Structure 1
Amino acid sequence: MTTLADAAKADLHRYLQEARDALLWKLEGLSEYDVRRPLTPTGTNLLGLVKHAAGVELGYLGDTFGRPSGEPLPWLAEGAEVNADMWAGADETRGEIVALYRRAWAHADATVEALPLDTTGTVPWWPADRARLTLHHAVVRVVADTSRHAGHADILREHLDGATGERPGATSLPSADPAWWAAYRARLERAAREAAEREGDTEPRDGRPGGGGPDDGAGSGRRTAP
């Protein structure tokens, strides 16, 4: 008989896995340059998002519950360069980072499978007075973080080559030709400028593909406090 706790775990895992798969899918078919190059003023890039997500899972769903993975993560070690988990060096291969992320999935899933959702753990990088949380809280946090970065990846990939969708075969967008989309975008631009003029903003900021990065001010989610 399926218990409420079992159902809750299944729901959490489903949404986490969908976000994981979407994030990795956004790398498919791109060159080494395109998966790595910074696409916002704050350097947001596709492979860096995957590298970051691996650290998030191994931290929140591993170390926090006394289940270290043993994976060497020098970019998260004490004294590491700021934001080192958000980009891939030239000596780090795509295959290595993707494989690390998949191992992180397996380790995180094993933690969730082994422990009740009300199990409490301690987040090593949070302030001591707020470092305790339940496994349920930790999984929800990882689902939220992964989904957020999968959304970043959606935007980055569309900027790179126009590819859209949350998974293969599902664009989640209306079926329309390029002319329709061009007209649609122009309509939105007109509406934005009309609203700006109405409010007295006579110099609306011009849109630019690299402007206003999706991670502006957010830094590394792996190191944030509650």
Structure 2
Amino acid sequence: MTDLKAELLANLRGHRAVMLGKLDGLSEYDRRRPLTPTGTNLLGLVKHLAGVEYGYFGESFGRPPLERPSWFRDDPYTEIGMWATLDEPSDYITGVYRQACAHADATIADLELDSQGHVAHWAEGRQETTLGVLVVGMVGETAQHAGHADIVRELIDGRVDADPPVTAGSTFWHDWRSRVQQVADRFRPPGPDSAPTGSQSSTSAR
């Protein structure tokens, strides 16, 4: 019989490793610089996940961290949780993340999936939950942000996780992108900045 807790934890650990791996080989600047209009940046994603790990698997079960991260506030909505400030170097942020993950792993090991937890900042009526719900949520949260990190890293230096490893500037990806663009162009609406091809049905675009 499959050990559900072990499967969830293995999945979570895999996504955590991907997240940290996106920082490898980058300068402090590249780890911090925002690459989307909403400011998404690699170090900020790691910082955010550290806070969520400590929140879900620490405070929710009366197991706060031994050393509170520098950005924690009594009200989590007042924290600077998506980017690193001048006095928060990369080594500090990644160190906190690793500590938060170890803390979370200990909570997951010590408790059952149906153990009762309490998330204080959730909406009234939803604050009572279980370890299992929070582990599933953390797997999803980490996977989502690891996907964000994939895109941000590609924008920085073209690194793409593939087998065999390639960069976004390679001939393979250049040709791939060209094919995707050619199909997209068949649906480009007419306008002053587009070719007058008009929109096409999905059948005629095959």
Contact 1:58/1:69 (CA < 8 Å) preserved in 2? yes
Whether 1:157 aligns to 2:149 is no
Whether 1:187 aligns to 2:183 is no
Q: Shift in Å at residue 203 of structure 1?
A: 4.2
Greater RCO (CA < 8 Å, at least 6 residues apart): 1
* Paired residue type of 1:44: T
Output one character per residue of 1:190-224: Cα deviation in whole Å (capped at 9) or x when no partner: 2112123xxxx224999xxxxxxxxxxxxxxxxxx
Q: Which residue of 2 aligns with 1:202?
A: 190
Q: Shift in Å at residue 111 of structure 1?
A: 0.4
Whether 1:15 aligns to 2:11 is yes
Contact 1:117/1:136 (CA < 8 Å) preserved in 2? yes
Determine which of 124, 127, 130 is the counterpart of 2:123.
Answer: 127
Point out the more displaced range, 15-24 or 123-132.
Answer: 123-132
Compared CA separation, residues 158 and 113, structure 1 to 2 (3 A): same
- Provide the TM-score with structure 2 as the length reference: 0.85
* Match runs of 1:28-47 below 5 Å: 28-47=24-43
Identify unmatched segments of 5+ residues in structure 2.
195-206
Point out the more displaced range, 66-75 or 40-49.
Answer: 66-75
Compared CA separation, residues 81 and 13, structure 1 to 2 (3 A): closer
* Match runs of 1:59-208 below 5 Å: 59-78=55-74, 84-165=80-161, 171-172=162-163, 178-196=170-188, 201-203=189-191
Compared CA separation, residues 175 and 54, structure 1 to 2 (3 A): closer
Whether 1:49 aligns to 2:37 is no
* Paired residue type of 2:38: T
RMSD across aligned positions (CA) = 2.4
Q: Shift in Å at residue 174 of structure 1?
A: 8.5
Amino-acid identity (%): 46
Partner-residue secondary structure (3-state), 1:130: coil
Q: Which residue of 2 aligns with 1:212?
A: none
Output one character per residue of 1:136-190: Cα deviation in whole Å (capped at 9) or x when no partner: 000000010001101111111111111111xxxxx25787992232122112112
- Higher-Rg structure is 2
Contact 1:74/1:80 (CA < 8 Å) preserved in 2? no
